[in-house]
Amino acid sequence: MKRKRKKQIPCILIAGLLLLLLSVPGVRTLQAKSSTMQYNNSVFTKKLLQNTKAIRCGKTEKTAVKINQPVKETYALLAKMKLSASKGSQPAKQDGLCATLVLVKKNGGKAIYTIQGNTLQKNNKTYTITKNNPLKKLSALYSLNPAKETTALATANYPKMAAYPDEMQEGFENSYEAWSQQRRERQKAGTQLTDGVFAFYKDSANEFLSDAGSENCIYSPVNVYMALAMLAETAGGDSRSQILNLLHETDTSSLRTQAKNLWTANYRNDGATTSILANSLWLNHKVAFQQNTLDTLADNYLASSYWGDPATSEMTSELQNWVNEQTGGLLKDAVKSIKLNPDTVMDLLSTIYFRGKWSHTFRKENNDTKVFHSPGKEIQAEFMNQSNSPGTYYWGTGFGAIKLRFTDSGHMWLILPDKGVSIDSLISDGEYLDMVLAGDEWKNAKQLIVNCSVPKFDVSSEIQLNKSLKTLGVTDIFDASKADFTPLVSPENNLQPFISKARHAARVKIDEEGCTAAAFTEMMMSGAGMPPSEKIDFIVDRPFLFAVVSDTGHPLFLGAVNQPN
């Protein structure tokens, strides 16, 4: 009996190891160069069929592999491999080769395995391959070439949006109900956000917009919040605590709830209004990553993770194409400066793209040319004009404001400082943002006939976030000796990753039809005044602030315009 038991145990071990390496990233189909065969071992076949429903790479069903077709050569390689339960060993860098496999069990569960260098990892458990590492031979067998393409290690699944209902089309009532249901879901998600989210808006806006000086400065609070929330998931220890403190959250569990609600409240793509949020991580193929963290980011932040060689132009090109696609090509100049390099461990990208049409469009024939009083000089600018429009005038200490509404959506605030009042003083005081967040409930408001004159503008800016985040208390992630990213980067890499670049790029433009805006955040790891008269001329001919607000009341974009063109 003892002799039989010794024969069975290696067979069971070999069966498990075969499951580990039947899928290789970067390979669309797992057909070996030579013929395949059915291995006639009863224990091996029984274990395989009892426990596994499908074997696949990543999360898409398209790469599923039949479990009863093991490759003879693969089996021979695995039969020779020796494992040792050991943590902390440094994986050998073997041309960046990696094999990642998802086992889909018959009970619906999943098991994820990764072989990187000389280590085998399942979740947080790591084993050392002490003899006969099969990676290079598997690479030749399956034509694996990680340097030339990226592989999705985790994929986000975006929900389908109901189309904006068309009264002229058949089935309007059903379409309207589906669209209305999603609108109610957005509004409900917005009401479930805590005060901490709005506190972050105020803290960060004051810091990020305060250095505008005489230049334009644009910032998306929602976009930066999502990027920092994702970064918190990848960080640990004090690094995570500092980010959570800035976001006014106590733990990642509550943060995930807020991030989901924020995403739901502001994501819209129904044909009438476009408000697209997207997230991704771009990972170095020579580094072992914690798959459970990547899955958390995909499930809670709709972030896809891509694995490849950052030293190649191909991976940088894929990243740039992804950002351009998610931002409608609005930030092409800024995107060109996104460059991966051999030392890049991870590049985290969060994007937002917005397009809304005015409820009352401006007529081009009413445009004229006026002087815009920029700091230090005067500029001739094209102004759009509307006359005798019923509206609401809002005011606070040192400023007045109006709203330009989007069709069945949110609105854009135009916030004009009183003469002699600077933009910096309004930003420092912060009352303008209290008004933006309060919306129609703002205390100082009056119904008036508004004659509006606003310059067409197309403004963009880039903000280096390192200094501002440090001022806001997030410091350790920038210090290689203190940064903790163990939830993302496996300890056996013997790396000390830190954030080497943190920046935010945004662009907002308005014309007679509406507003188009986009932003991305990149985290690379190496008084009350006198009430107005019954009629007002609101002429925006000097530096002003603006805010693009979603239909659930969130400031998608904030900006200071000193130079309209």
> Terminus-to-terminus CA distance in the chain, angstroms?
86
Whether the per-residue pLDDT at 522 is higher than 70: the answer is yes
- DSSP of 458-526: EEEEEEEHHHHHHHTT--GGG-TTT---TTTB-GGG-------EEEEEEEEEE-SSEEEEEEEEEEE--
Whether the per-residue pLDDT at 176 is higher than 80: the answer is yes
Over range 79-101, report the average pLDDT: 56
d(CA 320, CA 332): 9
Residue 239 main-chain phi, psi, to 5 deg: -60, -45
When mean pLDDT is compared across 11-20, 450-459, 528-537, the lowest value belongs to 11-20
Are the C-beta atoms of 444 and 395 separated by less than 8 Å?
yes
- Torsion over CA: 115, 118, 124, 125 (sign): positive
Beta bridge partners of 307: 151, 283
Put simply, whether the predicted model's pTM sits higher than 0.85 gets the answer: no
Are the C-beta atoms of 531 and 399 separated by less than 8 Å?
no
282 pLDDT tier (thresholds 50, 70, 90):
very high
Give the max Cα distance, the chain.
100
d(CA 278, CA 230): 12
Are the C-beta atoms of 410 and 523 separated by less than 8 Å?
no
Specify the pLDDT at position 548.
84
Helix (H, G, I), strand (E, B) or coil at 406: strand
Q: List, for residues 318-374, the tens digit of each pLDDT value.
A: 999 999 999 999 999 999 999 999 889 999 999 999 999 999 999 999 999 999 998
Whether the per-residue pLDDT at 414 is higher than 70: the answer is yes
d(CA 383, CA 371): 9
Specify the pLDDT at position 16.
43
Are the C-beta atoms of 336 and 364 separated by less than 8 Å?
no
Whether the per-residue pLDDT at 242 is higher than 80: the answer is yes
Residue 192: which of 256, 246, 276 has the closest Cα?
256
